[in-house]
Amino acid sequence: MAVKIRLARRGRKKNALYDVVVSDARAPRDGRFIEKIGTYNPNTNPATIQLDEERALRWLLNGAQPTDTVRAMLSYRGVLFKKHLQIGVIKGAISQEQADEKYNTWLNQKQSQIQNKVDRLADARAAEDKARLEAEAKVKEARAEAIRKKQEESAAQKETTEVVSEENNTTEENPTQE
């Protein structure tokens, strides 16, 4: 029986979530599976991958074949690197302590890269929010200026109307006095 580690789709339309499952290669994509070893949410940035790495490693060492997407996820999480190191330990090329040290060094470096990306995205989001607020403030100031000008024009027009009406009143009074 050929065993595959693959994604099973769930979630709603245009908002897919995936389960990382171990299943028989002949089973349908969303059908029967042997074991669920994690979840994958591609809708977040960076994508959220929750994975039982020990179970995934055990299945890989037992011969399960990951699909291309799952292989990329396992590589991203370091499971394939851990498998590579474990095979080296089994063959006697390196000791278990050396393998653990190499894996921990790689894992720390990878976590710092992920954290840097999250920080960059947060900074970009904050800068975008700040720019949007500044643009809104400019629009608000422009509207306030337009309203002020309109009020000044109406006040000036009112004054000219009053002056004209006063002139009319004075011209009407003058002929009667003569």
Taking each helix axis from N to C terminus, what angle separates 79-91 and 53-61, rounded to the nearest 10 degrees?
50
pLDDT in tens, 48-93: 999 999 999 999 999 899 999 999 999 999 999 999 998 999 898 8
Strands 65-66 and 3-12: parallel
Q: Please check whether residue 166 lies inside any domain of the structure.
A: no
**Is the preceding peptide bond at 46 cis, omega within 30 degrees of 0?**
yes
Q: Please check whether residue 123 lies inside any domain of the structure.
A: yes
Domain that holds residue 147: 95-161
Instruction: Verify that 107 and 138 share a domain, yes or no.
Output: yes
Instruction: Verify that 10 and 71 share a domain, yes or no.
Output: yes
Q: Please check whether residue 136 lies inside any domain of the structure.
A: yes
Question: What one-character DSSP code corresponds to residue 134?
Answer: H
pTM above 0.85, yes or no: no
pLDDT in tens, 81-104: 999 998 999 898 889 899 999 999
Instruction: Verify that 68 and 35 share a domain, yes or no.
Output: yes
Instruction: Verify that 100 and 134 share a domain, yes or no.
Output: yes
